[in-house]
């Protein structure tokens, strides 16, 4: 497995594993023992970055990741997140965001127990809290780093101004946001800012929440509990219109003897050497497919073709429901 660096010192596998879908949001939770086997299989194939959050479940995904990685804890990087207003005793969501320093400290302690570890390698603020100055958030994480409970600081779905302010207090190793051929918003301001600040980028939904695999069309029916039922970009009308984008990666995939998913991930990896996508899956064969993207070389001509064809397409539908969008880019 090839390695990449996030920030100045956090070295991880070129592809990580997003673990959220094993427990939440993409339908019913998968079988726990099967997911433990999948996580360990990913590590055997060279994956060292595993991404979770207290809110996935809540709590159950951290417990899953902690149990799966306990035997190999010192060989992996565990990323988790704080920042939602979740009752730490009951797991009940009480509202929107909560990044008060005392809450961050409490979340860290709870996450450490669930993850069966003495340190969190990468601790992200899940969403920016408009009620708490980002300097206070960065300061709280800085204290956790000084105490040895956290190794690196990250932000998720934050705006450039917030990133700069936080980075001035405690250097940020990585920013996590959605990025793929299905959503290229970070290219305008975020990626140039991260490059200037030497901050790594961890794209979630690098396969467009599954759309870029070519396995979804306007007739696909999602489980009633799948979050995509509420995403404008996944309405049947939008899916039908957006199939043209899938056609681009399919054409390149056929020529390269690869799959659409591999092309989509290889395209992301080719954008910057400090980008580490975290595709998620619950299926061993999809894990193998995704990992194949690391060795798929897209030429300058391939990349130019993808960009030229994609520039002709206006992707239809917002990437998130309105309420969720209001929590991004702060």
The whole-angstrom separation of Cα 192 and Cα 272 is 11
Site of tokens 């039908």: 240
Tell me the domains of the chain and their CATH numbers. Answer: 3-325 (3.20.20.100)
Between CA 211 and CA 246 the distance in angstroms is 8
Of 201, 178, 84, the residue nearest 131 (C-alpha): 84
pLDDT at 204 over 90: yes
pLDDT of residue 95: 80
- Mean pLDDT, the chain, whole residue set: 98
Backbone angles phi, psi at 319, to 5 degrees: -75, -20
- State which H helix or E strand residue 95 sits in: strand 93-97
pLDDT of residue 197: 98
- pLDDT > 70: percent of the chain: 100
Condensed to tens digits (0 to 9), the pLDDT of residues 6-57 reads: 999 999 999 999 999 999 999 999 999 999 999 999 999 999 999 999 999 9
Write out the two tokens for 241.
């219109």
- What does the block give as tokens for 173? 């190793």
**Sheet arrangement for strand 77-82:** 17-18, 49-51, 77-82, 120-125, 150-156, 172-178, 200-204
pLDDT in tens, 103-114: 999 999 999 999
Q: Which helix (H) or strand (E) is 301 found in, with range?
A: helix 300-310
Instruction: Read off the tokens for 302.
Output: 């391939």
Say whether 56 is catalytic: yes
Whether residue 132 has pLDDT greater than 90? yes
């Amino acid at each position: 497995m090839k390695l990449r660096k996030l920030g100045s010192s956090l070295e991880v596998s070129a592809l990580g594993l997003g673990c959220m879908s094993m427990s939440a949001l993409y339908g019913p939770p998968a079988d726990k023992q099967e997911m433990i086997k999948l996580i360990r299989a990913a590590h055997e194939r060279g994956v060292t970055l595993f991404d979770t959050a207290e809110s996935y479940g809540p709590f159950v995904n951290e417990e899953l990741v902690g149990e799966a990685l306990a035997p190999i804890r010192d060989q992996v990087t565990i990323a988790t997140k704080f920042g939602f207003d979740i009752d730490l005793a009951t797991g009940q969501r009480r509202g929107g965001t909560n990044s008060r320093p005392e809450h961050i400290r409490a979340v860290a302690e709870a996450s450490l127990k669930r993850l069966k570890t003495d340190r969190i390698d990468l601790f992200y603020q899940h969403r920016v809290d408009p009620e708490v100055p980002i300097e206070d958030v960065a300061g709280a994480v800085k204290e956790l780093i000084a105490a040895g409970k956290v190794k690196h600081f990250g932000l998720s779905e934050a705006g450039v101004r917030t990133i700069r302010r936080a980075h001035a207090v405690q250097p940020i190793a990585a920013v996590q946001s959605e990025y793929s051929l299905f959503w290229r918003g970070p290219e305008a301001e975020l990626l140039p800012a991260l490059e200037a600040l030497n901050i790594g980028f961890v794209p979630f939904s690098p396969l467009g929440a599954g759309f870029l695999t070519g396995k979804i069309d306007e007739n696909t029916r999602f489980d009633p509990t799948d979050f995509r039922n509420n995403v404008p970009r996944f309405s049947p009308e939008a899916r039908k219109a957006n199939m043209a984008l899938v056609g681009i990666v399919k054409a390149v995939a056929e020529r390269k003897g690869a799959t659409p998913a591999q092309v989509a991930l290889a395209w992301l990896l080719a954008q910057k050497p400090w980008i580490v996508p975290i595709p998620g899956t619950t299926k061993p064969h999809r894990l193998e497919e995704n990992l194949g993207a690391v060795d798929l070389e897209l030429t300058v001509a391939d990349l130019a073709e993808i960009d030229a064809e994609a520039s002709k397409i206006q992707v239809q539908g917002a990437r998130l429901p309105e309420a969720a969008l209001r929590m991004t880019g702060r």
